[in-house]
Structure 1
């Protein structure tokens, strides 16, 4: 029988890792764990910053902006008394105004009943009208149209009548309107804060044209 020349299979030898290789592996594993912790921590910090900024923006209340957006004159009657010294200058008119309230909050603004006054000299009330309670949706604007005010010069006190007469004779009468909308803002149904929107506008009534001009609100 022929001799078997085949070489028997010899399993490969397993060489144990050196201490240096083990140390390198542990260092790499520790480095990976450290980076993972840094990434998780950075994610938590970014999330906290985002939540803080969101809260500061959405949960901070702002005063709604109220103003007279337009005003018209009806039934204007006036006497400038330029031809008679015995008759004092006077006027009567019906004003029809449109008032808008702009709410920039992230929550509805609800306001109570209030009064819009038309003033002469900033203090003399020559007419007013009631405004019922209402609300303005979040980030919205509410218009109140056809607010009618009857104004007359007979309401002006004697100590201001001379200035009033001079303005009526000049054909240009400066008036102002004022209203205070007292209410509350409900921010995302989380925070409820009291706010007061004040409307303060000035305008000039031109007796010749029968219209208002230079309407300005602040």
Structure 2
């Protein structure tokens, strides 16, 4: 007696556990895990950016040092450098003039002079009292006092003086040349002035400077004017 359906079901029932066992015993490969870079390893892009920033920082610091050095050098050469003020006789005019040529030559005149003091420094120039004089043939014929004062930084001060010229102050050895010039109508005289003072820079540096001016001129007796003023 045959039971085909029953045998088939038994066979399937016996095969099922074996298949499940094989399925469980089979090893399935795991999906590859995503690789992560170690935290202590830096991205090359970030490394390049950091290097570029470091280079720029170095350039900026170096440029700042150079600019500061240039500024200090210019400050020392321009601001802290003490120069002698300029000093000259800017103008001369005749205020009064009386002269004779016979029987003897004589001259009484008053000349108005203007001295210009030009301070080239960044600090004021304070000068002491002094004098200005007029000369003929190496002999003094007139003098006026210059009061003390000051010239502001990068400024100019003008000082006006009235100087009396008297020919009777000349010694005898100068009379002959003086009479000859008086007869020609032109009298050549010279002037000299000297100032001594100090340049004050930022109230921390003081340097003594002495300046002078030496000029020549010609007094025209007939027109009572002064021409050919030259200073050196």
- In the other structure, the counterpart of 1:54 is 75
Which of 146, 170, 173 is the aligned partner of 1:159? Answer: 173
Name which one, 1 or 2, has greater alpha-carbon Rg: 2
Greater fraction helix: 2
Which of 76, 82, 98 is the aligned partner of 1:77? Answer: 98
Unaligned runs of 5+ in 2: 1-32
**Following TM superposition, by how much is the alpha carbon of 1:95 offset from its aligned partner in structure 2, in angstroms?**
1.4
**Following TM superposition, by how much is the alpha carbon of 1:177 offset from its aligned partner in structure 2, in angstroms?**
1.1
The CA RMSD measured in Å over matched residues stands at: 2.3
- In the other structure, the counterpart of 2:61 is 40
**Greater relative CO (CA pairs within 8 A, separation 6+):** 1
Q: State the alpha-carbon separation in 2 of the partners of residues 23 and 172 from structure 1.
A: 94
**Following TM superposition, by how much is the alpha carbon of 1:96 offset from its aligned partner in structure 2, in angstroms?**
1.7
Q: Give TM-score scaled by structure 2 length.
A: 0.78
Q: How does 1:1-218 map to 2 (within 5 A)?
A: 13=34, 15-16=36-37, 22=43, 25-81=46-102, 87-121=103-137, 123-145=138-160, 147-218=161-232
**Following TM superposition, by how much is the alpha carbon of 1:78 offset from its aligned partner in structure 2, in angstroms?**
1.0
Q: Which runs of 4+ in 1 moved over 6 A?
A: none
Unaligned runs of 5+ in 1: 1-11, 82-86
3-state SS of 2:124 partner: strand
Greater fraction strand: 1
Q: State the alpha-carbon separation in 2 of the partners of residues 211 and 35 from structure 1.
A: 72
Q: Give TM-score scaled by structure 1 length.
A: 0.83
